[in-house]
A and B are shown apart, each in its own frame.
Chain A
Amino acid sequence: MTTTTAALHRRRESRTTSSPNRDGVHANFPSAMFRRGAVSLVAAIVLAACGGGGGGGDSAETPTVINTPANTPTQPPVEDFDRRALLDSYTQRVVLPALRAAAIDADALETAARALAVAAADGSPATTEKQAAQSAWRTAMESWQAVEVMQVGPAGSANMVMGGLGLRDEIYSWPTINPCRVDQETVSGDYLNDDFFSVELVNTRGFDAIEYLLFDEGDDNACAAGVDINAEGTWDALVASGDLAARRAAYAEGAAADVAAHAAQLRDAWEPTLGNFAGQLSNAGLSGSQFATAHDGVNDVFAALFYVELRVKDRKLAAPAGISPDCSDATCPQLLESLWANASKEHVLANLRAAERTFLGGSDSSGVGFDDFLIALGASDLAATMLADLRAAIAATEAVPGTFADALEDDPELVRGVHAALKLFTDNLKSQFVTVLNLEIPSEGAGDND
């Protein structure tokens, strides 16, 4: 896990099941509930004496109909907003469909990679099978990019996320990639070992390694001249033997099987009839859930949504487009995601569409999402603005012709335009949105507050 991702998830290590606040001290679930029960007793006596019951019955409590522009959610305002309904929508309409699709497409990639490995075993170019495997990778990767924005629970680190199993990094480790290590393993043949995919670092397997194996053309490797496979001539020997394509295909087959297995594991961890993390999140705050409160669950969903700030805006867009000081030239296409398949635009699109579904609580406005939460709190303008900004970012991405690499060469302002459009959304995400909903910026939870 990268430092940034670790920072994203480190907040959770100090969080157990107490109320959502900016204090890093979190009591265990029973202790926190006991304290709240005690203060509830005190406050209940006071409030009963003051009058007002059942949530308040005076005119200030009358639900207000919020007028919204035509292109904003049209769901009627919810009289009694239920955060658990938001979590249930997120679970049933956003996460589970994404995980199931990712698992199916990962299986298809494994099948296609196996066909390629068989066809290429005798040294033949296996062009048809290779194209099929590449297409399967694109499909599987696009499905996975949606899950990238949903690193709640099992996808997160076991040490840092409620219910974390570290499965994201077992499947995709970008930006931690190392094609040179993949080349070294190709030469050594260690990928044939039974335990290779369970012991090796994530940057020698996963979707990014498969991409390199399937899409890199030519006989060159990604290592410096002084690295062993070049210094000792073992790479050249492999190329000369004509086995390079067969080895890459076999390596890709093993890596695809590993990805498919982990994708299935992740899906099963969420499935209501299996690991049932879906139930844990949907029932946050109820007995039996790891989450002490529904607000804790909502906060985890928000933290996952922060992917669009940390990864999409800053890494996938700003750096390659020359906006970030990480790029010393006018543009840095070498910093794009998906360097070999050139699918960075499709990945960003998948990320943003997943963010939209998270925001809406589903693929349309019929779910309960953050938009409804904002409307319920009287911030309908903010809900409308953020949704419009997110959709504008999606449209800006769709409007980029060809690949991001093409655009960076021909018209970098198109990529910068996507960055600018997304920034409008993330500016509100980090300021008014987090304020109104009283959420925690990732990693904010360490330390006290006053």
Chain B
Amino acid sequence: MERHLARPVDASSLAAFRILFGVILVAGIVRFLLQGWVEVLYVEPQVFLKYWGFSWVRVWPRWGMYVHYTVLAVLAVAISVGYRTRLAAALFLVGFTYVELMDVTNYLNHYYLVSVAALLMVVLPAGRAMSIDARRRREPVAATIPAWCLYLLRFQVAVVYVNAGLAKFGSDWLLHAQPLGIWLAARTETPVIGPWLGAAWVAYAFSWAGFLFDTSIVLFLSMRRTRPFAYGFVLAFHFMTHVFFDIGLFPFLMTAFATIFFEPDWPRRVLGWFGARVAAAVPSSLATAAPLARWTPPRIAAAAAAGVFCLIQVLGPLRHFAYPGDVLWNEQGMRWSWKVMVREKNGSITYHARDPETGRTWQVSPTRYLTWRQANEMAGQPDLVLQVAHHVAAELKEKGVRNPEVRAEAWVSLNGRRSALMIDPTVDLAAIADGIGPADWILPAPQDPPLAPGVLRFAAETD
């Protein structure tokens, strides 16, 4: 086992992973800047909602945010070309993660994926091949890496897919074809197939196809015989999700990351198809004859760290089982668990504030502190509802109310269900501290089924 993990393999697939990762990051950051999202997400808001334990994270002034993102773009270029790869990846990891910590309402699963991948680029010898670092080395290192590097990356990709699949293992997705039914019904104007997208059977087909894809694709990518076909499905699946849902970098990242399942020398083979003469990175005499390194303390520590990392990646997405109720409703254990695109959730939040000394009451909208985008994001997330309640209390204290009480009337619709109260309206949220324990002030999820998909057809709405 140890010899298998340590055997040298071609580093070019890791290099391709690095290059694709870096290029996608550059494109994503440039897009972010050109779309004006620095203004919308970091300049316009007056209040930023924080992750628990990270209230100290500050948002830079306007010019600072542009500098921050520009530096990230430069670091992404450095990663893609393999210049001071580990340093660039480390700085990018810190910089990108920091900006994501600025506002919880900006959380996206694929931003978390970027941070995880950046961490792996720090740990792994990603600059060993097809990089400026490789060219600059005075004593060239063989363009090989230990096999465990590839297995670690494959493990990470598997974590994403499998958990995304497990997230779909629920009655809403499989038995009621929601939220896909809602989303597809809004896309019936797609040429040719549009009229079908409003049909119930299509919503069910897409739902089951998505579930089966996520839960099985890693298996088929892992087997040489099925790998080409599996990657074809990867391309088709992510292409369709990109077109239908425009979920930013996610389809591109997963399409690129899935190449790690190919043979380690696949980039050299591809270059060979185009006539490039590329020597094998691993002479056959060395392929299996690598001597085992001694178990020194640093090596032991590295192995332990890798073990901890893998344990976190496996157990973290499952932590929602530690909380009672439906995670899609109470959101406890929702983030960092790869529950990608499994709910359509919107809410109307009204805070009822009261001065217990005078009996004076107010109704406060979250938009008093947040932009509409932020308010819409927080409406379905109880911990953010709690956080905004604290802002309401803080404002009233500034106005002279000594112990303001703040209760939330939170009407939320999940996957088309009738709106139901998400938060106990009798609980004074101003007196509740945020934390990671089970929140008994979150009401149970509604028991009625979601909206039935495809009740009626849509008329032909295209030319």
Q: What is the interface of chain A, defined by CB distance below 8 A to chain B?
A: 4, 7-8, 10, 13-14, 18-21, 23-25, 33, 35-44, 47, 50, 52-56, 58, 60-61, 63-64, 77-85, 285-287, 293-295, 310, 314, 318, 322-325, 328, 330, 376-379, 381-382, 423, 426-432, 434-438, 441-444, 446-450
Would you call A379 and B202 a contact (CB within 8 A)?
no
Chain B residue numbers with a CB within 8 Å of A20 are 186
Would you call B195 and A325 a contact (CB within 8 A)?
no
Question: How many angstroms from the CA of A92 to the CA of B353 in the assembled complex?
Answer: 44
Would you call B459 and A42 a contact (CB within 8 A)?
no
Q: Which of B200, B240, B461 contacts A294 (CB 8 A)?
A: B461
Question: How many angstroms from the CA of A345 to the CA of B195 in the assembled complex?
Answer: 45
Chain A residue numbers with a CB within 8 Å of B41 are 446-447
Q: Which of B109, B246, B249, B347 contacts A430 (CB 8 A)?
A: B347
Would you call B451 and A436 a contact (CB within 8 A)?
yes
Q: Which of B192, B346, B396 contacts A40 (CB 8 A)?
A: B192
Would you call A78 and B190 a contact (CB within 8 A)?
no
Question: How many angstroms from the CA of A23 to the CA of B372 in the assembled complex?
Answer: 15
Would you call A449 and B248 a contact (CB within 8 A)?
yes
How many B residues are at the interface, by size bracket? 35 or more
Would you call B189 and A294 a contact (CB within 8 A)?
yes
Chain A residue numbers with a CB within 8 Å of B418 are 381-382, 432
Q: Known: A438-B182, A448-B246. Contact between A79 and B196, CB under 8 A?
A: no
**Chain A: CB-nearest residue to B242:** A35
Question: How many angstroms from the CA of A54 to the CA of B457 in the assembled complex?
Answer: 10
**Chain A: CB-nearest residue to B364:** A325
Would you call A56 and B199 a contact (CB within 8 A)?
yes
Q: How far apart are B6's CB and chain A's nearest CB, in angstroms?
A: 36
Q: Does chain A have a CB within 8 A of B417?
A: yes
Would you call B250 and A450 a contact (CB within 8 A)?
yes
Among the stretches B82-90, B121-129, B337-345, the one at the interface with A is: B337-345
Q: Known: A40-B192, A448-B246. Contact between A295 and B240, CB under 8 A?
A: no
Other than A19-B187, A24-B40, A430-B348, give 19 A-B pairs with Cβ distance below 8 A.
Answer: A23-B245, A25-B35, A36-B190, A38-B239, A39-B190, A42-B236, A43-B240, A44-B193, A50-B205, A55-B199, A61-B454, A295-B186, A325-B353, A379-B416, A436-B182, A438-B185, A447-B37, A450-B108, A450-B341
Chain B residue numbers with a CB within 8 Å of A24 are 35, 37, 40
Q: Known: A61-B454, A450-B341. Contact between A52 and B199, CB under 8 A?
A: yes
Question: How many angstroms from the CA of A378 to the CA of B419 in the assembled complex?
Answer: 15
Chain B residue numbers with a CB within 8 Å of A450 are 108-110, 247-248, 250, 340-341
Q: List 20 A-B contacts (CB under 8 A).
A: A38-B239, A42-B239, A53-B196, A54-B195, A55-B196, A60-B454, A64-B456, A81-B459, A325-B396, A325-B399, A376-B456, A379-B451, A427-B411, A431-B347, A431-B412, A436-B416, A443-B376, A447-B106, A448-B247, A449-B108
Q: Which 5 interchain pairs have the tightest Cβ spacing? A: A448-B248, A56-B199, A23-B246, A378-B455, A443-B372
Q: Known: A21-B246, A42-B240, A450-B340. Contact between A434 and B37, CB under 8 A?
A: no
Question: How many angstroms from the CA of A23 to the CA of B340 in the assembled complex?
Answer: 15
Question: How many angstroms from the CA of A13 to the CA of B36 in the assembled complex?
Answer: 10
**Chain A: CB-nearest residue to B339:** A450
Question: How many angstroms from the CA of A384 to the CA of B187 in the assembled complex?
Answer: 25
Q: How far apart are A1's CB and chain B's nearest CB, in angstroms?
A: 14
Q: Known: A39-B239, A432-B418. Contact between A444 and B376, CB under 8 A?
A: yes
Would you call B243 and A35 a contact (CB within 8 A)?
yes
Would you call B192 and A430 a contact (CB within 8 A)?
no
Q: Does chain A have a CB within 8 A of B201?
A: yes
Q: How far apart are A233's CB and chain B's nearest CB, in angstroms?
A: 38
Would you call A80 and B192 a contact (CB within 8 A)?
no
Question: How many angstroms from the CA of A448 to the CA of B371 in the assembled complex?
Answer: 16
Q: Which of B31, B44, B399, B451 contacts A25 (CB 8 A)?
A: B31
Question: How many angstroms from the CA of A13 to the CA of B35 in the assembled complex?
Answer: 9
Q: Which of B31, B37, B199, B372 has the most CB of A within 10 A?
A: B372
Would you call B182 and A435 a contact (CB within 8 A)?
yes
**Chain B: CB-nearest residue to A381:** B418
> Using an 8 Å CB-CB cutoff, how does the interface string of B169-209 with A read, 1 for contact, 0 for none?
00000000000001101110111111110111110010000
Would you call B202 and A443 a contact (CB within 8 A)?
no
Chain A residue numbers with a CB within 8 Å of B461 are 82-84, 285, 293-294
Question: How many angstroms from the CA of A447 to the CA of B239 in the assembled complex?
Answer: 19
Would you call A430 and B346 a contact (CB within 8 A)?
yes
Q: How far apart are A292's CB and chain B's nearest CB, in angstroms?
A: 8
Chain B residue numbers with a CB within 8 Å of A23 are 245-248
Q: How far apart are A373's CB and chain B's nearest CB, in angstroms?
A: 10
**Chain A: CB-nearest residue to B395:** A325
**Chain B: CB-nearest residue to A330:** B360
Question: How many angstroms from the CA of A423 to the CA of B223 in the assembled complex?
Answer: 57
Q: How far apart are A380's CB and chain B's nearest CB, in angstroms?
A: 10
Q: Does chain A have a CB within 8 A of B47?
A: no
